[in-house]
Structure 1
Amino acid sequence: MVKSLTITILAILTGWLCLAIWQTPLDASEDNVTPTSTPEQVEHGRILAGIGNCATCHTASLDKPYAGGLDFPTDFGTLYSANITPDKETGIGDWSREAFIRAMRKGVAADGSYLYPAFPYTHFKNITDEDLDALYAYLMSLEPIAQEPPENELRFPFNLRFLQWGWQLLFFDDEPLQPDPERSAEWNRGAYLAEGLGHCTACHSPRNAFGAEKKDKAYAGALVDNWYAPALDASQPVPVHWDEKSLYAYLRTGQSDYQGTAVGSMGEVVHKGLKVAPDKDIRAMAAYLATLGGQSTVGGEKNEAAKLIEAAHQRVATNRSRGEELYISACAACHFNAPENPRALRAELSLNSAVTADDPSNLLRVTLQGVAANEGTPGIVMPAFATFSDDDIANLAEFLRSRAGRPPWSDVHERLKDLRQLQN
């Protein structure tokens, strides 16, 4: 009797679990796959795709835009981005609008399979119907490209997609972001873009052991793709905190007065994605992001920067170290700034986030590979110094940290070894 009851209960629980996990495949038809769209709607979708940086993640080869196949190494194995061109066999050409919206907001593909959260549906849930329709119209207007992305290379049991149901149960809240009535329309627009299509916390927030963002540490900084996305909350490491003006300049041009230059992953966001965004949207994002750090005690005023640069000059030791000699010979011609002129064209390194961050990756990567003319500040090139020995680069990093009034990094040699392997 007890055994029979136990089996019955287990069967019921198993059936309930299967029903809970099961997602209905959404069949497509010509009518719901190719809805009527206007040129204005398609153009709006193109801009939204830029703000979402869709092309960067879904393009492995420049001659096959949006055709997927880009690899994303994770702690659980390697994921490959999907083909989101309207090819019916290998892309999303037979996805209905309903299927597209479900994928964007619920993380479930047209065939009912769960998407991995490397695809940031956890942010795209915040996108309005109007914007999703425009984005769908734009993607369906692209040239179909037949390209099957490689199979994901995930370790067991992470290769079992249905387990993403449990991940969503633990970490995914599908309620969309609500406007803050106490904030301005511009601020709310910025929040909508940053927390939705822009999915800023996806890079700027640390993650837990299951790959979910730590919501209590949003914008606290994280290492992504071997670049360090610095903290934008109150813990931000830059001596002169970000304000609306510096954030606007950075997001619009890739260069701020004091805090840093957009290279690497962030360079792609600025120079490939956000370049199509209208000024009002860039300003809205700047207005929102500027509030994340709270009230700055330093501010971004020129006289404050001058004081900080003067302090950096005074920290330089009387007896020149190897790091200082390297700075004088390789860096100072471009990066030295007098206190009375802190807004030189090239970054003052004592104020730069690559030097002041808790992680040395950005400084080391830029030192090793330089900055091309189409990255960072438009038209300005920084040469690569990969021919420097690890000891020399470590000495330079130690000097720059000391000059900025920061303690030395403890893992420079180990990190250099890893980053050099990336270049090989």
Structure 2
Amino acid sequence: MKRRGLWIGLAGLIVAGLAVASAIVYEPSIAPIATPSPDSFDVTLKQEGARIVALGDCVVCHTAKDGKPFAGGLPLHTPFGTIYATNITPDSQTGIGTWSEAAFKRAVRYGIARDGHHLYPAFPYVHFTRMSDHEISAAYAYLMSREPVNVATQRNQLIFPLNFRQFVAFWNVLFLRPGPRNADSTHDVQWNQGKLIVDGLGHCASCHSPLNAIGGEKSGQAFDGGIVDGWEAPALNALGSAAKPWTKAQLVTYLRTGRASEHGAAAGPMLPVTRDLATVPEQDVEAIATYILSLQKAAPPSVAQASQRETTAAEQRGAVLFNASCAQCHGPGSPMQVIGERPTLAFSTAVNASTPRNAVQMMLNGINWHGEDATNYMPAFIDVYDDRQIADLAAYLRGAYSNKPAWRDVESMAAQLRKEDRAQ
């Protein structure tokens, strides 16, 4: 995942952490084991593990494009280089086939690999650490029962001195608070279940929170929104102040299907998350929604544009492009809205956002075709429209479907996001 703030400024703290980091090269190694047989694990435990792994979204980060599930290789881009997701299949040479459950548990709780080296915090162990022992055992049983895939992970491409893993020890001192959390007796079972998933397995804050100068989540700003893979992860604590406030039913439907009747469709990094959540029990998703909706902050004062104003030249050009390429799905009274239940763009999170980032990303990259999820499909226009035309479309959407002020510098953002997309 590409996070604009990931480890930015870490070099400035290298000197301060040098004394700690240089003394910690490796933790003790845990002895390898013979790869367990899938039949050695309880069937019920493996089934529970499928749920745990889906809630943790493991397959998304640990599967390369066109690669085998869990075999790693997905490049995780950071401002200081690229980290490649590891192979977590039970292959004894390139995966975790020789890892005991104790070694797996240490990795999940403390970010330490079986041989003792520190894992980079792109692996969200700062959240996974909250998993219960049973959840870790279930995840281990499930992963050890997958198909072994012999694929070596590419060498990370990080600049000096971030290519030395021992510096992560200093990062952990600042941000890792290991161990499970107790339930909050002031709330009911469903709220507590949602909190455990959102703050732990789901690691939602790792994407939906702003990061500080060295890649840790900013204190006191959990769920205020973040940037992931060039997309804006919206503030989860502002769903109640959306153009049309989210209801629990809508949020549950969105998380399980990737679309909400009055808010739009999931795209970018969020889309595969919804595909994983479609496989877990509905009560898990209802608990997630309950907890998230309890986090809502008071809506900030709105700054609406003047009701009477002249349409700009950019909006006029954008209207022509909209009618040519978008109106058949998104225009008023279009068959896709009437029959396909596509929501009006007036309630779209992307159209009403404070920045044009997600609206531009949607136009550039669309939503890939995914079998039975065809109702979520949107073609990409990255090779159809240039940056100015994308900016014109954005201007039209903002003016026609929102009462928010016009976005600025859309063309330059389109150029930046297009460049980043080409570089991947």
Give 1:382-393 correspondences, 5 Å limit.
Answer: 382-386=378-382, 387-393=384-390
- 1:395 aligned residue: 392
Using the alignment, how far apart are the partners of 1:408 and 1:323 within structure 2?
13
**Alignment counterpart, residue 347 of structure 1, candidates 325, 337, 343:** 343
Residues 43-81 of structure 1 show CA distances to partners (whole Å, capped at 9, x for unaligned) of 111121111111111111444211111100102211001
**Alignment counterpart, residue 68 of structure 2, candidates 64, 81, 96:** 64
Residues 169-212 of structure 1 show CA distances to partners (whole Å, capped at 9, x for unaligned) of 12222243332111111111111111111111111111111111
**Alignment counterpart, residue 412 of structure 1, candidates 401, 410, 413:** 410
- 1:256 aligned residue: 260
Residues 208-266 of structure 1 show CA distances to partners (whole Å, capped at 9, x for unaligned) of 11111113111111111111111111487731222311210100111112223111211
Residues 340-375 of structure 1 show CA distances to partners (whole Å, capped at 9, x for unaligned) of x99981132222111122232221121123333429
Q: What is the Cα deviation at residue 333 of structure 1?
A: 3.5
Using the alignment, how far apart are the partners of 2:269 and 2:370 within structure 1?
13
What code does the residue aligned with 1:159 have? N
What code does the residue aligned with 1:25 have? S
Using the alignment, how far apart are the partners of 1:377 and 1:236 within structure 2?
27
Give 1:1-400 correspondences, 5 Å limit.
Answer: 22-30=26-34, 36-234=40-238, 238-271=242-275, 273-294=276-297, 321-337=316-332, 345-374=341-370, 378-386=374-382, 387-400=384-397
Using the alignment, how far apart are the partners of 2:358 and 2:373 within structure 1?
16
Using the alignment, how far apart are the partners of 1:382 and 1:211 within structure 2?
33
Using the alignment, how far apart are the partners of 2:114 and 2:26 within structure 1?
13
- 1:307 aligned residue: none
Residues 138-185 of structure 1 show CA distances to partners (whole Å, capped at 9, x for unaligned) of 111111111111111111111111111111112222243332111111
Closer, same or farther: CA 196–315 of 1 in aligned 2, 3 Å = farther
- 1:8 aligned residue: none
Q: What is the Cα deviation at residue 21 of structure 1?
A: 6.1
Using the alignment, how far apart are the partners of 1:394 and 1:297 within structure 2?
27
Whether the aligned pair in 1 keeps the contact of 2:21 and 2:166 (CA below 8 Å) is: no
The DSSP-based 3-state class of the residue aligned with 1:219 is: coil
Using the alignment, how far apart are the partners of 2:416 and 2:124 within structure 1?
27
What code does the residue aligned with 2:292 have? L
Using the alignment, how far apart are the partners of 1:185 and 1:337 within structure 2?
43
Using the alignment, how far apart are the partners of 2:308 and 2:48 within structure 1?
51
Using the alignment, how far apart are the partners of 1:378 and 1:159 within structure 2?
42
What code does the residue aligned with 2:222 have? A
Whether the aligned pair in 2 keeps the contact of 1:365 and 1:419 (CA below 8 Å) is: yes
Whether the aligned pair in 1 keeps the contact of 2:126 and 2:175 (CA below 8 Å) is: no
Q: What is the Cα deviation at residue 411 of structure 1?
A: 2.9
Using the alignment, how far apart are the partners of 1:17 and 1:397 within structure 2?
47
Closer, same or farther: CA 156–423 of 1 in aligned 2, 3 Å = closer
Whether the aligned pair in 1 keeps the contact of 2:263 and 2:349 (CA below 8 Å) is: yes
Gaps of 5+ in 2: 1-17
Whether the aligned pair in 1 keeps the contact of 2:99 and 2:114 (CA below 8 Å) is: yes
Name the count of aligned residue pairs: 397
Residues 392-421 of structure 1 show CA distances to partners (whole Å, capped at 9, x for unaligned) of 221221222233122222231122112323
Gaps of 5+ in 1: 1-13, 299-310
Using the alignment, how far apart are the partners of 2:394 and 2:154 within structure 1?
39
Whether the aligned pair in 2 keeps the contact of 1:114 and 1:161 (CA below 8 Å) is: yes
Q: What is the Cα deviation at residue 279 of structure 1?
A: 0.7
Closer, same or farther: CA 132–112 of 1 in aligned 2, 3 Å = same
The DSSP-based 3-state class of the residue aligned with 1:187 is: helix
The DSSP-based 3-state class of the residue aligned with 1:228 is: strand
Using the alignment, how far apart are the partners of 1:193 and 1:109 within structure 2?
24
What code does the residue aligned with 1:179 have? A
Closer, same or farther: CA 318–119 of 1 in aligned 2, 3 Å = closer
Q: What's the % identity of the aligned pairs?
A: 38
Whether the aligned pair in 2 keeps the contact of 1:104 and 1:124 (CA below 8 Å) is: yes
Closer, same or farther: CA 342–357 of 1 in aligned 2, 3 Å = farther
Q: Normalised by the size of structure 1, how large is the TM-score? A: 0.85
Using the alignment, how far apart are the partners of 2:219 and 2:371 within structure 1?
31
Using the alignment, how far apart are the partners of 1:43 and 1:318 within structure 2?
57
Q: What is the Cα deviation at residue 15 of structure 1?
A: 10
Using the alignment, how far apart are the partners of 1:35 and 1:200 within structure 2?
33
Computing the radius of gyration over CA atoms, which structure comes out larger, 1 or 2?
Answer: 1
Q: Aligned Cα RMSD in Å? A: 3.2
